[in-house]
Amino acid sequence: MGTVLTIDTEYANFHQVASAYLIEEEGRGVVVETNTTHAIPKILKAMESRGVGPQNLDYVIVTHVHLDHAGGAWALLEACPGATLLAHPKTAKHLMDPSLLIKSATSVYGKENFDSLYGEIKPIPKERIRVMEDGEWLEWEGHSFQFLYTKGHANHHFCIYDKKTNGIYTGDSFGISYPHLENGKRFIFPTTTPTDFDSTEAIRSLDRILDTGAEVAYLTHFGPIGDLKENASDLKEGLTLCEEAISELESVTKEERLPFMESKVKAMIQTLARKHSITLTASDWKLLHLDVNLNAQGLVYAFEKTKSKG
């Protein structure tokens, strides 16, 4: 039986923040998630350590188009000429023409920070991409992979269930869990980043993940976890707290919405940590700062989108 290797992509120079996965069978491989262009040398080194040469990588799979998941896909395909990218149709569209992704991210981070975080991003030729439909199965080296569309975090997101290992690669649909924040314990919280966050769909996606019967969820942020029912319960609690916070925005001025929501996101994370007797330190909050800000932005965006619809 082959192996699943967790690869620390060292996103933004942090350890155990974002992972890619190598599934290996007798010298052949599949990589799930690529992180950014900067991570590709680490992925290739991990492949080499398991005896998977670039010519023996068959598939690259990305759960969705966000750049900390798919920004390096073009570079890994370039290094592995026989590999095919498997993607959601909306993801495929943006990876064939990443100009809008680059423009959007550059406007948020600035050119210098964009280059530092993500590096170069090139278009992927259409013939190197295979779109996977909802519920579709793929057979590979004794593995049966099923692709399940999971909205909530993003409308271009899917998860990949592996029947052979009874594990599921969840991208951002099953939350965030950083090992070095946990003092040997697991706690998990939802990710609500802009612009597609939808709490109702997020809960449906959690149920769809549980319905597979998977014993392990391979999180992109970070690493494999078990106890899926308990963790899903915590995620639903966190999503409920987020919904309650959104409902309070009606009485908050536009200028105060983001700082208000940042305080609510911090409170949500704190609640879930304390539930597992975990005390977050000042250094923990420094690492969580970006997640707090992005999650808050997503919740404010969700509120404003609903408000604009009347």
Average pLDDT over residues 90-114: 89
Place of tokens 């597609």: 196
What pLDDT band is residue 107 in, cutting at 50, 70 and 90? Answer: confident
pTM for this entry: 0.95
285-294 residue pLDDT tens: 988 998 999 9
DSSP secondary structure letter of residue 273: H
Number of other residues whose CB lies within 10 A of the CB of residue 306: 12
Whether 59 has a pLDDT exceeding 60, the answer reads yes
- Reply yes or no on whether the pLDDT at 310 is more than 60: no
Q: What share of the chain is helix, strand, coil (3-state, %, to 5)?
A: 50, 20, 35
Q: Which of 173, 216, 189 is CA-nearest to residue 274?
A: 189
Is the distance from CB of 239 to CB of 202 less than 8 angstroms? yes
Q: What is the DSSP string of 36-49?
A: -GGGHHHHHHHHHH
CA angle 233, 150, 47 (to 5 degrees): 100
pLDDT (0 to 100) of residue 167: 97
Question: Between the CA of residue 213 and those of 61, 136, 216, 217, what are the distances in Å?
Answer: 21, 17, 9, 11
pLDDT at 75 over 60: yes
Q: Which amino acid would we find at residue 224?
A: P
The answer to whether 86 and 33 have CB atoms below 8 angstroms apart is: no
- Write down the mean pLDDT value for the chain: 94
pLDDT, tens digit (0-9, with 9 covering 90-100), for 247-267: 999 999 999 999 999 999 999
**Strand, helix or coil for residue 136:** coil
Cα-Cα end-to-end distance for the chain: 55
d(CA 65, CA 88): 9
Confidence at residue 47, expressed as pLDDT on a 0 to 100 scale: 98
Q: Return the pLDDT at 180.
A: 80
Q: Given pLDDT bands bounded at 50, 70 and 90, which one contains residue 1?
A: low
Please identify which residue in the block is written with the tokens 């590709």: 40
Locate 215 and state its tokens. Answer: 């014993």
**What is the spatial distance between Cα 261 and Cα 116, in angstroms, rounded to a whole number?**
28
Report d(CA 69, CA 202) in Å as an integer.
Answer: 18
| Residues 59, 71: Cα–Cα separation, whole Å | 16
> What confidence tens digit (pLDDT) does each residue in 153-186 have?
989 999 999 999 999 999 999 999 998 876 667 7
Encoded tokens for 11: 């996103």
pLDDT for position 287: 85
